[in-house]
Amino acid sequence: MDKLCSYVSGLLRDYGYAVVPGVGGFVANECPPRVDHFTGKVAVPVVEVTFNKDMTVNDGLLMQKYMTEAHLSYAAAKKVVERDAARLMQRLDAGEQIVIDGVGTLSKDLRGERRFTAAPPAASLAVWGLGEVAMPLLADLKKQAAAEEKAAHRQETIAMRKKTLWNYVQYAAACIAAIIVYLSFSEPIDNYGLNRYDNYASIVPANVIMAATEQPAAVEVIAETPAPATPTVLPEQSQIKEVPAPAPAEVRSVEGRYCIIVASLAKGTDASSTIEMFVKQGFTKTFAIEGAGRTRISVAAFDTMDEAVDALREIAATASCKDAWILKR
C-alpha cells in the first residue's frame, strides 16, 4: 500500500497522471499564475490534482513502475498491482481514508461513491524554488502617478503664490518709499484747500499755462473762490512809491474776477510787507485775498480770462513773479 501511494506520486510528477486499476485515475493539472488584485502580487504556476473515478483501465504505467523499482517481471508486477488495488478498495469500503502524500485524500461517502480531496496546490516543477512576485496593478500605478502629479502641482502653485505675494510686497514697498522721498523733497502745493479738479494752476508753472493758452479761447476756468466784499489789506496811497519796473498789463480794478496771484501766505500772516514789496516793484494795484485758509497776494485783477492770460505772460517775466498763476473768484 505504501509503495502504491509513493508510485502514484512519482507517476504524477513524471507523466502528469496515474491510473490505479479498479480504483480510478489521478490527473495533475498545471494552473497559470494567479494575480491577487488586492495585494498586487502574482503567484507562480501551481499543480492541482484531480481524481476521475471512471479511469479504471490499466494503462501499464503503474506496472512499469513496479517492474523498475522492485525489479519484477511483467506478470509479477501485474499481480502486485491488482493485489494492492484490491486492498485499497477494501480499506475504502471499510470507511478508511487513504492519504497519498502530496496528492490528497481518497475516501467513500455515505452512498459508497469514491471522493477525493486534493492537497494544497504545489508549485510547478518548471518554477521550483521561485515564490510569488510583487507586481503592482497598472490601475494602482496610475492612481499613484496622478496623486504624485497633483501633489507636485499643488507645491508649484503654492510656490507661485508665495513668489507673487513677495513681488507685490516689494512693489508696494517701492511705491511707499517713492512717495516718502517725493513728499520729503517736494515743496508744499499752494492752494491745497481748493478742489484740485477745479484748480490746475496751483500745481502747474506759469510758463506751462502760458504755453497751453496761446489761444485765449482754449483757456478754462482754473479755480473759483468766493470774492470778499472788500480787500483785507490795502496800502495807503501815501505809502505807495513809484519805482521803475516792467510795465505790467493794464489793471482795471481790484474788482476783477480773474486775479494774478504772485504769493500765498498762511492765514493770519500780516500781508502788508508783501504787498508793499510788490508795490515798490511797480504793481500799484496789489491787494490781498482771504480764502480757503490762505492769504493770497494779487498784483492785478481782470474781468475776462483773456486779459488775465495776456497779463500773466508779461508779469511772469519778472523774477519775483515767475510762479504767478490765475485765480478765478
Residues 170 and 218 grouped into a single domain: no
Residues 321 and 224 in one domain: yes
Q: Is the pLDDT of residue 245 over 90?
A: no
Clarify whether residues 14 and 127 are in a common domain: yes
Residues 149, 41 share a domain: no
**Residues 146 and 247 both lie in one domain:** no
Task: Answer yes or no: do 95 and 178 share one domain.
Answer: no
> 195 in a domain, yes or no?
no
Domain span including residue 68: 2-134
Residue 194 lies in a domain: no
Kindly tell me if the per-residue pLDDT of 285 is higher than 80.
yes
* Structural domain count, the chain: 3
- Looking at the structure, tell me whether residues 245 and 167 fall in a common domain: no
CB 292 within 8 A of CB 191: yes
- How high is the pLDDT of residue 131? 61
User: Is 192 within a domain?
Assistant: no
Is 259 part of a structural domain of the chain? yes
Task: Name the amino acid, one letter, at 107.
Answer: S
Assess if residue 36 is contained within a domain: yes
With 90 as the cut, is the pLDDT of residue 42 above it? no
What phi, psi does 39 have (nearest 5°)? -95, -15
Residue that has been written with the C-alpha cell 490781498 in this structure: 288
pLDDT value, residue 128 = 56
43 & 77 share domain: yes
Report yes or no on 178 lying in a domain: yes
Residue 296 domain flag? yes
Residue 84: inside a domain, yes or no?
Answer: yes
Task: Residue 118: name the closest of 105, 128, 109, 107 by CA.
Answer: 105
For residues 121 and 244, membership in a common domain is answered with: no
Whether residues 181 and 222 share a domain: the answer is no
Q: Which of 144-158, 166-180, 183-197, 234-248 bottoms out in mean pLDDT, i.e. has the lowest?
A: 234-248
Q: Is the pTM of this model over 0.75?
A: no
Q: What is the mean pLDDT of the chain?
A: 76
Q: What is the pLDDT of residue 152?
A: 92
How confident is the model over 129-144, as a mean pLDDT?
Answer: 71
CB 316 within 8 A of CB 322: yes
Distance CA 247, CA 324 (A): 16
Strand order in the sheet with 325-328: 287-291, 294-302, 258-266, 325-328
One domain for residues 249 and 324: yes
**Any idea what DSSP says for residue 224?**
B
